[in-house]
A = this chain, B = another copy of it.
């Protein structure tokens, strides 16, 4: 039986780019929300789920974290980092007159990310909000007579038969979204298509109480072992404002000595530690954009 992969749909979104870069012939099923996607793993509707963790267009990291942390048995087994590249695209019959478009559609976050481009090139138009960049591309594809454009990624252009007329119109370079692959077993998922960039171990640490210097003590346990932390982020706990836990990425594969010892010491300080996964990460090239003009 083919493996089923859940992802944050619809087609033509950055989530789908991440899924396609990690999985080949499997059945891919789009879900409307992040919790629905994570639910689907819990209920064994899907074997893997691909959801955004950081810096995303379609959803927020909070929803992903809140929902993983509630589950006992779901682990992060892989990560794909996808460059967020936004392009402007029109129906093929409107390529020649694309600068005269009368409407531009996209997701509100994508519109915000292309603020400078829109202000410089189309200051007379007000971009119209759609529920996703994919939905915007679909609308433009279905209304060729309207002479409208969508802001979306190259996969959306392909899925909906649109022509990209100007590429990389987003304001900031080096904008990426981290997508994580979730699974019920702790078995790392390796890619045969992408080059491995490294290995990470992600943990959460809840401090016993909000006292000055507690975090400093926790970091000492990593620092003197030369364990490099590539990310540290405080997140509000669900027990009330002002209580935080920390999400920490250790730039190393889980071993038998260093990381377990650091965790044991942190726990002996009264902290609660939860290992969310130890997994390889991959960088998507972001290539595949063809200009129509």
Contacts and interface: CB of A to CB of B under 8 A. Distances in A.
Given A176-B236, A216-B219, A283-B241, A112 B56 contact: no
Interface residues of A, number: 64
A33 B173 CA distance: 19
Q: How many copies does the complex hold?
A: 2
A288 interface: no
A81 interface: yes
Interface in A18-71: 32-36, 39, 55-56, 58-60, 62-63, 66
Contact of A241 (B36, B176, B212, B246): B176
Given A55-B236, A241-B283, A216 B216 contact: yes
A223 interface: yes
B63 A113 contact: yes
Nearest to A217: B223
A232 B230 contact: no
B234 A232 contact: yes
A290 to B, nearest CB: 25
Interface of A: 32-36, 39, 55-56, 58-60, 62-63, 66, 81, 108-109, 111-113, 115-116, 119, 126-127, 129-132, 171-174, 176, 210-213, 215-216, 219-220, 222-224, 226-234, 236-242, 244, 246, 283
19 contacts: A35-B116, A35-B171, A36-B112, A58-B108, A59-B108, A59-B112, A174-B237, A174-B240, A210-B230, A212-B222, A212-B226, A213-B223, A213-B224, A216-B219, A216-B220, A216-B223, A219-B219, A230-B244, A233-B234
